């Protein structure tokens, strides 16, 4: 069983949108974007909308977290995979399930009641912080970076 070629894992509560579908995908050289999200995995309308903003020649898959855990090790070497999740807790679920994620890019975590804004596009609550801390303890780097040409910021410099 070979290790899947995961180029990057991104947390973005919007999942696939222009920045992800074109800018990041092209910058990474990804040819497969996998959305790991239980709701979107069963929503063909949302999937169709997301597919509309993906670069030509890039495939998409929409998996539940559990399905992602089950199929990731069957990925072909030629698949250059860009994983997109909604929350740090979802990424942690994948990691605990054996998905070999080494690095997490944090794009957007919108402000909602009960969250604290720590960066222009990132707001967290205690559950998010605890998931990030567990990811860090597992040796996974977590960096806020909206677009590829921006300098990344270690999230732990912003959450104490």
Give the pLDDT means over successive 10-residue stretches in the chain (160 positions): 90 91 94 98 97 94 98 95 98 98 96 96 97 97 95 93
Considering only CA atoms, which of 46, 40, 32 is closest in space to residue 67?
Answer: 40
Q: How many CB atoms lie within 10 A of CB 53?
A: 14
**Model pTM greater than 0.85?**
yes
Active-site residue among 17, 73, 110, 119?
17
Region of 74 on the Ramachandran plot (φ > 0 left; ψ -120 to 50 alpha; else beta) = alpha
CA distance 157 to 75: 34
Q: Residue 94: helix, strand or coil by DSSP?
A: helix
Chain segment 48-86, per-residue pLDDT in tens = 999 999 988 999 999 999 999 999 999 999 999 999 999
3 state SS of 25: helix
Active-site residue flag, 110:
no
According to CATH, the superfamily of the domain at 6-157 is Phosphotransferase system, sorbose subfamily IIB component (3.40.35.10)
Q: Enumerate residues 6+ apart whose C-beta is below 8 A from 85.
A: 9, 10, 11, 12, 35, 36, 37, 91, 94
């Amino acid at each position: 069983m070979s290790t899947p070629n995961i180029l990057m894992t991104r947390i973005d509560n919007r999942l696939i949108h222009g920045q992800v579908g074109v800018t990041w995908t092209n910058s990474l050289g990804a040819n497969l974007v996998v959305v790991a999200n239980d709701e979107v995995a069963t929503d063909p309308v949302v999937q169709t909308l997301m597919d509309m903003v993906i670069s030509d020649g890039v495939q998409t898959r929409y998996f539940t977290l559990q399905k992602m855990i089950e199929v990731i090790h069957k990925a072909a070497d030629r698949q250059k995979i860009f994983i997109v999740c909604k929350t740090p807790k979802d990424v942690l679920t994948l990691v605990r399930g054996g998905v070999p994620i080494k690095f997490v890019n944090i794009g957007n975590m919108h402000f909602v009641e009960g969250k604290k804004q720590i960066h222009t596009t990132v707001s967290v609550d205690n559950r998010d912080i605890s998931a990030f801390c567990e990811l860090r303890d597992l040796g996974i780097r977590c960096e806020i970076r909206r677009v590829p040409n921006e300098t990344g910021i270690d999230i732990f410099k912003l959450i104490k």
